[in-house]
Amino acid sequence: MNEIPSIPQKRSFVRPLAAALAAAWLFLAGCGSDPLPPGRNVIVGIESNPTQFDPRLSQDAVSSQVQRFLFNRLISRDENDRIKLELAESWERPSPTVHRFRLRRGVRFHDGTVLTSADVKYTFDSIRDPALASPRAAGLRELDRIETPAPDEVVFYLKEPSAAFAESIMVGIVPRNAKKTGAAFGERPIGTGPFRFRRFEPDERVELDAFPEHFGGAPSYDRLVFRVLPEETVRILELESGGLHMIQNAFSPDILPRLRKNPRLQIHRRAGTNFTYLGFNLADPILSRLKVRRAIAHTIDRGPIIRYILKGLATPADSLLPRDHWAHTGGLPRYRHDPALARKLLDEAGFPDPDGPGPQVRFSLVFKTSQNELRRRVATVISDQLRQVGIHLRVRAYEWGTFFGDIRSGNFQLYSLTWVGISDPDIYRYIFHSRFFPPAGANRGRYRNEKIDSLLDAARRVPETAPRAVLYHEVQRILGAELPYVNLWHVVNVAAIDRRLTGYRVYPNEDLISLAGASLAPAMKSSSPEKSRR
């Protein structure tokens, strides 16, 4: 290509090139979305797009956080994780299989129509309709039928008593005409929530407008904006320079001291219900041995991990349930850090260390994890700790789809994940009951114990809290001894908030809903707030 000969000069190419560049700039100047009007917006940073605005279909945390502002539920959880009435005005249980709700009066959807019991019935009927393919259908297995004796009265009839009923109906109520809009409902969602949908620019922002007719009163500001910012450093810089008013949990603990020093920000923290664990594949010939699992539990030293890596933003867990949960029991094994005991257990399990502290190992295991930086870091530390008792742990981080597929199909030895928003202990059934091997449930480690199965089945049928708790105490003791999981920690939720934003409260389950009642003080006069930082 270096042999192009000269060409007689007629046309100048410089001018067209310049013109093209100028045109490009004009074109560029013309596009781009308009900047946000200044003032009464509250802007929150999120890591990824919400994938779904239809509350019947969503399952990821970001989607449900955003939906809470658009939709109301019959009942929900308050800031102390207790059940409270939301759209329901009263909740009666005339018999263990009948639940009667009276609805608040005068509740309006964003399109002006009044909420009636027909909307509630439609919401749950459509969830059970296979055509909708709702991930929530399984939770309503005991539901027999719904009746609507009056516009403000809705009655749920169950096939058998279900202690998990309350949890299963915590879904945003959609209007019954959502049926007509079909799949488009997810693009223009209409609910009764304190904010109504304005627009969603994928990978950019979700904008919600305050809904003045909300039954709980209108929000004190005009617009709630969620900005999608995948890169952590950029989220922090946006927060520091005033482009965001809040981020919650979406930053490494290491950044906290820097944020704390910033006079424009305040840090809120609160113990949460998210539970991080190490899962074993019990079908694996090595990990099927209890002594090996116990040895691993005794080798993992959670203290330094929580202190140095999580910077105290976690509390050690001895059960899936947080310590202040009503079904949590005391006296569970803690598996304190004890490498000597671990070595002894491994010897007894038939895996002697070929050369003691030397480089040879008892056996090798693969530890699968997602690509999240903090998770990989924790995995690297655990691998280092296990090396000290002669176990070689290879950490393998996979792209999420591959990782999740492997975990579900049982193609793993060890993995680590977090259960989000643990509330009702019925979740145990879903995770450890032998009927809930994937794809039916999340018993990914193939744990099988008839005692556990019958305890969990029984507990689901007992509506009263106290006797139900007794059953779960037994479950926790058995699981604590048999170790299908190593319980690692419960995550402490932490939010970094602009001081101008007041009235926000961190919920244990990461819910952002208290933003609806928060208020934003007018901007300070300072012309460039970022100058004051340095």
Partner 1 sequence: MRRYLLRRIVLLIPVLWGVATLVFAVTNIIPGDPVDLMLGETARPAQREELRKALGLDRPLLVQYGSYLGGLLKGDLGTSIHNNRPVAKLLAERIPASAELTIAALAIALAIALPLGIVAARRAGSLVDMGASALAVLGASIPVFWLGPLLIIFFSIDLGWLPVSGRTGVLSLVLPAVTLGTALSAILMRLTRSSLLEVLPQDYLSTARAKGLTERKVLWLHALRNACLPLITILSLQLGALLSGAIITETVFAWPGVGRLTIQAISARDYPLVQGCVLFIAFVYVAGNLLADIAYAWLDPRVRYN
Partner 2 sequence: MRGNASIRFGAVIIVIMVIAAVAAPIFAPQDPYTQTLSEGLAPPGADHPFGQDKLGRDIASRVIYGARISLMVGFAAVLVSVLVGLIVGSIAGYAGGLWDEGIMRVTDVFLAFPGILLAIALMSVLEPRVGNVVLSLSAFGWVGYARLVRGQVLTMRERDFVSAAHASGAGPVRIIARHILVNILSPVIVEASFGMAGAIVAEAGLSFLGLGVQAPEPSWGAMLADGRNFLLVAPHLTLFPGIALALTVMSLNILGDGLRDWLDPAQKR
Q: Which of 9, 358, 359, 525: binder of partner 1 (CB under 8 A)?
A: 9
Q: Determine how β-strand 205-210 pairs with β-strand 501-502.
A: unpaired
Minimal distance, residue 444 CB to partner 2, in Å: 20
Query: What single string gives the DSSP state of each residue in 297-308?
Result: HHH--HHHIIII
Q: Determine how β-strand 501-502 pairs with β-strand 83-85.
A: unpaired
Query: What single string gives the DSSP state of each residue in 347-389?
Result: HHTT---TTTTSS--SEEEEEEEES-HHHHHHHHHHHHHHHTT
Question: CA end-to-end span of the chain, whole Å?
Answer: 53
Q: Among residue numbers 172 through 211, which ones bind partner 1 (CB under 8 A)? A: 183, 186-187, 201-205
The conformation of residue 421, written as its DSSP 8-state character, comes to -
Minimal distance, residue 246 CB to partner 2, in Å: 18
Q: Among residue numbers 342 through 401, which ones bind partner 2 (CB under 8 A)? A: 371, 373, 376-377, 379-381, 383-384, 395-399, 401
Query: Which residues lie across from 280 on neighbouring strands?
Result: 414
Q: Which does 35 bind (CB under 5 to 8 A by kind): partner 2, partner 1, none?
A: partner 1
Minimal distance, residue 107 CB to partner 1, in Å: 29
Q: Among residue numbers 28 through 47, which ones bind partner 1 (CB under 8 A)? A: 28-29, 31-36
Q: Among residue numbers 150 through 169, which ones bind partner 1 (CB under 8 A)? A: none
CB 48 within 8 A of CB 230: yes
257 binds partner 2 (CB under 8 A): yes
304 vs 350, beta carbon nearer partner 2: 304
Q: Among residue numbers 219 through 238, which ones bind partner 1 (CB under 8 A)? A: 227-231, 233-234, 237-238
Minimal distance, residue 398 CB to partner 2, in Å: 7
Size of the site for partner 2 (CB under 8 A): 32
Minimal distance, residue 40 CB to partner 1, in Å: 18
The conformation of residue 477, written as its DSSP 8-state character, comes to H
Q: Which of 56, 103, 139, 162: binder of partner 1 (CB under 8 A)?
A: 139
Helix (H/G/I), strand (E/B), else coil: 495: strand
Q: Which of 106, 217, 304, 352: binder of partner 2 (CB under 8 A)?
A: 304
Residue 488: Cβ-neighbour burial (10 angstroms; 0-12, 13-18, 19+)? buried
Q: Among residue numbers 2 through 31, which ones bind partner 2 (CB under 8 A)? A: 2
CB 83 within 8 A of CB 166: yes
Sign of CA dihedral 341, 344, 345, 346: positive
Candidates 128-136, 210-218, 389-397, 469-477 — which segment interacts with partner 1 by CB under 8 A?
Answer: 128-136
Q: What are the Cα distances from residue 420, in Å, to 62, 86, 166, 272, 424?
A: 11, 22, 18, 9, 12
Sign of CA dihedral 314, 320, 325, 331: negative
Instruction: Please give the angle made by the CA atoms of 268, 269 and 271, to the nearest 5 degrees.
Output: 155
Q: Among residue numbers 398 through 417, which ones bind partner 2 (CB under 8 A)? A: 398-399, 401-402
231 vs 530, beta carbon nearer partner 2: 231
Candidates 151-159, 230-238, 312-320, 343-351 — which segment interacts with partner 2 by CB under 8 A?
Answer: 230-238
Q: Which does 7 bind (CB under 5 to 8 A by kind): partner 1, partner 2, none?
A: partner 1
Binding residues vs partner 2 (CB under 8 A): 2, 231-233, 236-237, 252, 254-255, 257-258, 304-305, 307-309, 371, 373, 376-377, 379-381, 383-384, 395-399, 401-402
